[in-house]
Amino acid sequence: MHIVVCIKQVPDSAQIRVHPVTNTIMRQGVPTIINPYDLFALEEAMRLRDKFGGEVTVLTMGPPSAEDSLRKALTFGADRAVLLTDRFFAGSDTLATSFALATAITKIGETYGVPDLVFTGKQTIDGDTAQVGPGIAKRLGLIQVTYVAKVADFDPAGRTITLERRAEGGTQVLKSKLPCLVAMLEATNEIRRGSMENALRAARAEVVKWSAKDAGVQDMSKCGLKGSPTIVKRVFAPSARAEKAKFIEAPEGGNLAEALIAEVFARQPNLEADLTALARGF
């Protein structure tokens, strides 16, 4: 069995700083991490491999420095790492990204064996779109199952998979066929601690690096800026509200909490009656 896990190296978003004058992202010195959502995909893929045998290949697209994240994935226990890196990919939106990754997955299939499953995280923490997973699935003609909370059953011989999928108001239990793409939900498992053996292997392992051409991209106009139907016209910081908050202080000898409540109900006159009704159990 062969599983491909797509990961992305992202800035540790809590630490992103915006330049106060130019409103641009200050990337220098910002630490990068594997997109946290992708770790659930990686762990789930490795659990299936551990149980049913086979290999896990991690794939990312990004600058040469994204090799760090791939090595990290190897220390967790992935078997192989492929880095898709080329200046032609710069400025890709989600459609162009899904094209590049899908092309690379096809190439991975030709080189190392056709994948039975492709795993992705729910979304990334920098783009937050959740669109690349479905994009890859459509490009490859794979069945797509997103927001997966659990792999309930897996039958590699019968080539079926049963998945619990988070839906609005409940959980769908779906049975589908391989190959398919699974986007894992967060908090569904916990990434293992890499073993010493894996750490040593990762340090020595060669990360496969492919340019667009290496990955089999024929039509460069489908990559990067050119292949992106969306255009970011404007990036800006949100404007502050005209007026700042009105600060409430405790009145002389009075109670700050009561002063706040008086202010709240003065501004929302109907709220008190409604809350009271609620408190009375209506």
Partner 1 sequence: MSEPKTPPAPAAGGRASTKKELPEHFKAYKHVWVYIEQERGQVHPVSWELMGEGRKLADKLGVELGAVVLGAEGETVRGAVAEAFCYGADIAYVVADPVLTDYRNEAYTSAMTDLVNTYKPEILLLGATTLGRDLAGAVATTLLTGLTADSTELDVDTDGSLAATRPTFGGSLLCTIYTLNYRPQMATVRPRVMSMPIRVEKPVGRVIEHKLGVAEDDIITKILSFLPDRDSNKANLAYADVVVAGGMGLGSPENFQLVKNLAAAMGAEFGCSRPLVQKGWVSSDRQIGQTGKTIRPRLYIAAGISGAIQHRVGVEGADLIVAINTDKNAPIFDFAHVGIVTDAVRFLPMLTEAFSKRLSAHSRDKLAS
Q: Token pair of 247, please?
A: 């600060």
The DSSP-derived string for 129-192 is: ---HHHHHHHHHT-EEEEEEEEEEEEETTTTEEEEEEEETTEEEEEEEESSEEEEEPTTSS-PP
Q: Token pair of 54, please?
A: 């086979």
The answer to whether 146 contacts partner 1 (rule: CB under 8 A) is yes
Closer CB to partner 1, 64 or 197, in the complex: 64
Angle, helix 271-279 to helix 256-267, in steps of 10 degrees: 110
The answer to whether 92 contacts partner 1 (rule: CB under 8 A) is yes
The Cα 89–Cα 16 span in angstroms is: 23
Closest Cα partner for 114 from 178, 165, 67, 71?
178
Closest Cα partner for 158 from 175, 182, 181, 174?
175
Residues binding partner 1: number (CB under 8 A) = 92
Residues 245-264 close enough to bind partner 1 by CB under 8 A: 245-248, 255-258, 260-261, 263-264
CB of 155 to partner 1, least distance (A): 14
Closer CB to partner 1, 64 or 195, in the complex: 64
The answer to whether 143 contacts partner 1 (rule: CB under 8 A) is yes
CB distance 6 to 59 below 8 Å = yes
The answer to whether 187 contacts partner 1 (rule: CB under 8 A) is yes
The answer to whether 120 contacts partner 1 (rule: CB under 8 A) is no
Which residues are CB-contacts of 21 (< 8 A; sequence separation ≥ 6)?
none
Identify the residue among 150, 176, 209, 220 touching partner 1 (CB under 8 A): 176
CB of 201 to partner 1, least distance (A): 30
Kindly write out the interface string for residues 219-238 of this chain, putting x where it contacts partner 1 by CB under 8 A and - elsewhere: ------x--xxxxxxxxxxx
The answer to whether 155 contacts partner 1 (rule: CB under 8 A) is no
Residues 20-39 close enough to bind partner 1 by CB under 8 A: 22-25, 27, 36
Identify the residue among 133, 191, 207, 208 touching partner 1 (CB under 8 A): 133
Closer CB to partner 1, 200 or 275, in the complex: 275
Q: Token pair of 15, please?
A: 């630490």
The answer to whether 279 contacts partner 1 (rule: CB under 8 A) is yes
The Cα 142–Cα 182 span in angstroms is: 10
Q: Token pair of 14, please?
A: 């809590």
Which H helix or E strand runs over 37? helix 36-52
Rounded to a whole number of angstroms, the distance between the first and last alpha carbons of the chain is 58
Identify the residue among 20, 21, 196, 244 touching partner 1 (CB under 8 A): 244
Closer CB to partner 1, 79 or 116, in the complex: 116
CB of 51 to partner 1, least distance (A): 21
Identify the residue among 65, 111, 171, 211 touching partner 1 (CB under 8 A): 171
